[in-house]
Structure 1
Amino acid sequence: MLLIGGVVAAVVAGRDNGDTGTATKTVRAVIGSEKAEFFADPDVVKALAAKGYTVRTETSGSWAMEGLDLKGYDLAFPSSQAPADELADKYRARQPLPRPFYSPLVVVAHRSAAEVLVANGLAELDGEHRGTLKMGAYLGAARADRTWQQLKGAEKYGELTGTLFIASTDPETSNSGALYLAAASYVEGGGRVAASDKDVAATAPLMRKLVSVQGAQQPSTDAAFRDFVSGAGNPLVLVYESQVAALLGQGTGQGLDDLTVLYPDTTANSDHTVVPLTEEGRALGELLSTDPELRGLAVRYGFRPQGATAEFTSATAAHTAYLNQKLTGVRQAPVPTSAVLHDMARRARG
């Protein structure tokens, strides 16, 4: 989620986390930082070792992977399909690419903010802590530079002041920030995915508003989500559903009583996609996709395994007050190519 240039950290799965030496193949991987805790989990290390693997991981921004020299690595594991496709073309990786799990983007809101959005036709609630954000209506409010003070019912809450906006991460460096623009531009473009300079130019003014109103943006959804849960920051924050699901799974966390999860009626998924650089890398990517134990462990970190809903549905059964398990009423926006999305992000940042 924090997308930065270069490799910034290393986690060696199987070295200090209870590996008994049973692994026979060492696989080197560059991964998005949001998956570092998953690969460092002792249970994941044990499950991989039982299948004959020790995985050595280094973290990088998903989009920054395009600029890395990946010679000597077995796989790259960005958090979106667009940078994965770019890497696959660059390294001539055989298709299809394994996509072990994914997570949709959601908006976390304080209860007061959610109630005001509902009162003004910008959202709907189907439970105490869960609802739907109407993207078309929200983008209309953003286009008109509406403030919280102009919204009915906001006067009851002193914290709701200033321009109405969803806090997102820097789209030039952050995957979630870029996917936010992908979904917003799809809605603004009348349900068409941007595919040309003309398409990007047509939606650029509104995309610039969505970004410029925020001022300084957080570098990662991790930092933004921590601030939100602690009670700081903006009343509306774009995060990954996996972050919410992982927090709920821990059974702890301040601010849960005040948390409302709004699923945009048009959103974008973060498709965690493996780019195999060797046959060992492909085998590991397929193992992450198909092994029941590893799929179950991915759910522990809030990820939705590809190809089935049973694991996620079962694991999050106690949290349906917050989570839209079946993504009912949520439309998936196609994501532009990496080149188009980079251009869109540059124009949005001015």
Structure 2
Amino acid sequence: MSGTTPEPDTNVPPGPSGPVEEPVLGPRVPRMRTRRRRLVRALPFLMALVLAGAGLHQLRHAGKLLLPFESVTTLRGRLASVGDLFKDPQIVRILRKNGLKVEITSAGSREVATGSLNGLDFVFPSGQPAADLIYVRRQEEGLYSKDFHPFDSPLVLATFAPYAKALTAIHAAEPEKVPAGPQLYYTVDMARFLALRNTKWNSLDVQKYGFRNDNKILAQTSDICESNSADSYLSLAAFTLNNDSVLSKQTVPSLAPAMKQVFGGQGAPSDGLYSSYVSSNGSRQSPVAVLYEHQFLTYQTAYRAAHGHVDTQRVLLYPKTQLLSEPHYIALNHQADRLGELLEGDPELLRRETELGYQLHSSEDGHELRDYLRSQGVPAPQEDTVDRTKVTLPDLSVLEAMITKIKGRPCPAHVPGHTTSPSEGR
């Protein structure tokens, strides 16, 4: 019937939640824009991952990746001339990678041998006599010690080209034969050199080589009460003046006057002589300095890297009567054995010891050092083709007797050292 509201159809099933509403349609967001928005949100997280990865790579390269989580053993030792070894950043890194940290006390070889060993894990004297004394002490006290001998370094007289040429002119020295390149190495006749101890440099006409020096012709040493190099030079001079014979207690009185002239009341601090030699005024302050070969070679390598050529003014005199420094690492407990084993056998450490100018004790012909110097553009010293006379060091008690004659008093029983950590050498 018209105008009448129709009844609802009762046959249509109701919806699940009542009447269904019409959907509200909005603008469609493009899929690419959504991905970009997600990427922007994730960008800080991704950058953090990249930076963390780069940091881990650097730590791994430096050998420090696991250091915060690894146990590090700290070893405390007393060293003489090889103290700089454990201040070298590369040595520090290699040892840390192997779980070791070294703290050192700098001292002369005499204190290393005669000072208190309480609280130390190792000592590193520069020569065999000091090492022997330590062995005897440890044996007498029934205490542990183990010896390692990683490298050597010859005793040398470091000088300057004009002085070497003046000595060559009077046949007290002769240049080593080199195939090409600058003349850095000479051989010195110690008997003729020591015979000049009361002669002045100007008397050798050193002026014609560009220098003037009115001082006596003497090799400067560190204090003989502190330094192994000074004691070694004392042994070399006494051996020469004693007709190439080892100093004995019977010959001390007769040789003492000449030995006083050779040492002339001198005695620089143990760590000051090298610094004086390489300083800008070294030719005046230290015309001839008693050093170790490795110190000169390390200087020339660094100079070549900085300037593109070696320092031709600074040269070496190798005594015909050779004296080899033989540093001995002595572990005072089993824990310190690990460091000795690394110094003698770890490939990275052996390579770095070579780079620092040392002759590896395990090497048969020293080719590692020679090859390294040549790779750096530094002329290598001439290989020994003759059997040089080797100086035999006197017993320490004989050495003490001669030192007392020279200085007029015995050496102090103890010379204070200076404790350093590896970071101080960086």
In the alignment, does 2:401 pair up with 1:343?
yes
In the alignment, does 2:66 pair up with 1:66?
no
Identity %: 26
> Deviations along 1:73-103, whole A, 9 cap, x unmatched?
2211111221111111111267872111121
- The one-letter code matched in structure 2 to 1:44 is I
1:202 to 254, 259, 274: 254
My pick for the range that moved more, 252-261 or 270-279, is: 252-261
Instruction: Label 1:287 to 1:249 Cα distance change in 2 as closer, same or farther (>3 A).
Output: same
Does the 8 Å CA contact 2:79/2:124 hold for their aligned counterparts? yes
Instruction: Label 1:59 to 1:26 Cα distance change in 2 as closer, same or farther (>3 A).
Output: farther
- What SS is found at the alignment partner of 2:156? strand
Does the 8 Å CA contact 2:80/2:227 hold for their aligned counterparts? no
Q: State the 1:276 CA deviation.
A: 1.9
Give the aligned partner of residue 245 of structure 1: 297
Aligned counterparts of 1:140 and 1:319: Cα–Cα separation in 2: 38
What is the TM-score normalised by the length of structure 2? 0.70
Aligned counterparts of 1:317 and 1:255: Cα–Cα separation in 2: 12
Q: State the 1:173 CA deviation.
A: 1.7
Aligned counterparts of 2:293 and 2:133: Cα–Cα separation in 1: 25
> Deviations along 1:32-83, whole A, 9 cap, x unmatched?
2543332133322332233343333332222112343323322111112211
Give the aligned partner of residue 112 of structure 1: 162
- The one-letter code matched in structure 2 to 1:141 is L
In the alignment, does 2:293 pair up with 1:236?
no
- What SS is found at the alignment partner of 2:240? helix
Does the 8 Å CA contact 1:104/1:268 hold for their aligned counterparts? yes
2:383 to 299, 316, 326: 326
Aligned counterparts of 1:70 and 1:95: Cα–Cα separation in 2: 12
What is the TM-score normalised by the length of structure 1? 0.83
Instruction: Label 1:183 to 1:319 Cα distance change in 2 as closer, same or farther (>3 A).
Output: farther
Consecutive unaligned residues of structure 2, counting only runs of 5 or more, are 1-61, 409-426
Does the 8 Å CA contact 2:154/2:292 hold for their aligned counterparts? yes
Consecutive unaligned residues of structure 1, counting only runs of 5 or more, are 1-16
Instruction: Label 1:323 to 1:273 Cα distance change in 2 as closer, same or farther (>3 A).
Output: same
Aligned counterparts of 1:23 and 1:189: Cα–Cα separation in 2: 57
Task: Supply the RMSD in Å over aligned alpha carbons.
Answer: 2.7
Aligned counterparts of 2:263 and 2:70: Cα–Cα separation in 1: 47
- The one-letter code matched in structure 1 to 2:351 is G
Q: State the 1:319 CA deviation.
A: 6.9
- What SS is found at the alignment partner of 1:43? helix
Aligned counterparts of 1:188 and 1:42: Cα–Cα separation in 2: 42
1:141 to 172, 196, 203: 196
- What SS is found at the alignment partner of 1:29? strand
In the alignment, does 2:78 pair up with 1:31?
yes
- What SS is found at the alignment partner of 1:91? helix
Aligned counterparts of 2:382 and 2:102: Cα–Cα separation in 1: 31
> Deviations along 1:181-209, whole A, 9 cap, x unmatched?
11111122222222x31132232222111
1:101 to 151, 154, 157: 151
2:340 to 264, 267, 285: 285
